[in-house]
Structure 1
Amino acid sequence: MSENLDRELMGKETDEREEDTQKGRFLTFNLDKEAYGIEITHVTEIIGIQPVTQVPELPDYIKGIINLRGKIIPVMDVRLRFKKNFREYNDRTCVIVIDIDDLSIGLIVDSVSEVIAIPDTEIVAPPEVGKGGNKYVKGIGKVHSDVILLLDCNRLLNDEDTENLLNI
């Protein structure tokens, strides 16, 4: 019994170390000329654009579902979520698969850039602009002379979206 407990505790330590090494690290991607970042802890993988099966009665920014090695994953076009114009997918278009709570979802983005570390001292709160103006942005990372909008993955989907996607 003690051996099982030791293994369990060692597993927790390993998990905590992995979280520490991922803290402050962001996967950056582009939409038009803007750079965005999401915490690497949410990212499970990055894949090329896949054939998407449309599902009726979902918001237009939820493009449908893909079959990823036998697992059905809903995909969201982040451009449309942010009320940008649709752009045809090309060889640079990627799907970033993330986990939000109990749901895996693919985020369709123009291109993926890199994983970078941004220290807390280089992250500032987004400016207040009108009602709900920055509901997806939880911080702004300053990297050299560039600005990276750091997204709050938990706010990309509203409660209704989450409920609809869990029932697919």
Structure 2
Amino acid sequence: MNVMGKNTESAATGTREYLTFRLGQEEYGIDILKVQEIRGYEQPTRIANAPEFIKGVVNLRGTIVPIVDMRLKFNCTEVEYNSFTVVIILNLRNRVVGIVVDSVSDVMELAPDAIRAAPDIESAIDNGCILGLGSVGERMLILLDIEKLMSNVDMGLVAPAE
């Protein structure tokens, strides 16, 4: 199985692969095909007047990449930078964006029948950005539409889909 691509078996069954990561006590999943790389956290260069959740920018092999701290964006109570803190570099509609998370767990395959609709509740995440809840054994994953989340008006990091 190719971690960064689809295999033929997955394409035939509708199974998708998700990179899972932690923010506080919650576990989230994003489409593995949107992930470019995973890097250790390094202090970005701050941008004046940027929202608090945009930590700044880093130079990634000649590309200036905005870095969003998802813990601040999702109102996590504690935001601690340690050896597990990582930046997931995403490639979204030809725009490169980094997101800071507490830790990366693993890559999981989820079949469509393992995904349930998310309940309609008020949260720090726009409900339109939640694809659903994935269950794997005892684990519950909040599956994010990361492209939609990054193109929200308050983020404005990725142009909306045409």
The TM-score, its normalising length taken from structure 1, stands at 0.79
Q: 3-state SS of the aligned residue for 2:71?
A: helix
Q: CA separation of 1:41/1:108 partners in 2, compared to 1, >3 Å: closer, same or farther?
A: same
1:66 paired with 2:58, answer yes
1:48 paired with 2:2, answer no
Residue 69 of structure 1, CA deviation: 1.7
Structure with the higher helix share, 1 or 2: 1
Q: CA separation of 1:147/1:67 partners in 2, compared to 1, >3 Å: closer, same or farther?
A: same
- AA aligned to 2:149 is L
**What residue is the counterpart of 1:93 in the other structure?**
85
- AA aligned to 2:141 is I
Residue 146 of structure 1, CA deviation: 1.3
Which protein shows a greater Rg? 1
CA distance in 1, matches of 2:154, 2:74: 17
**What residue is the counterpart of 1:20 in the other structure?**
11
- Unaligned 5+ runs, structure 2: none
Q: CA separation of 1:79/1:162 partners in 2, compared to 1, >3 Å: closer, same or farther?
A: same
**What residue is the counterpart of 1:162 in the other structure?**
156
Mapping of residues 132-143 of structure 1, within 5 Å = 134-143=127-136
Residue 161 of structure 1, CA deviation: 3.1
**What residue is the counterpart of 1:9 in the other structure?**
none
Q: Deviations for 1:14-68, whole angstroms, at most 9, x for unmatched residues?
A: x886893995100000011111000001100000002210001211111110111
Contact 2:24 2:78 in 1 (8 A): no
Q: Which moved more, 1:38-47 or 1:128-137?
A: 128-137
How many residues matched? 151
Contact 2:15 2:112 in 1 (8 A): no
Q: 3-state SS of the aligned residue for 1:140?
A: strand
- Corresponding residue to 1:32 among 1, 24, 34: 24
**What residue is the counterpart of 1:149 in the other structure?**
142
- Unaligned 5+ runs, structure 1: 1-14
CA distance in 2, matches of 1:130, 1:32: 18
Residue 155 of structure 1, CA deviation: 2.6
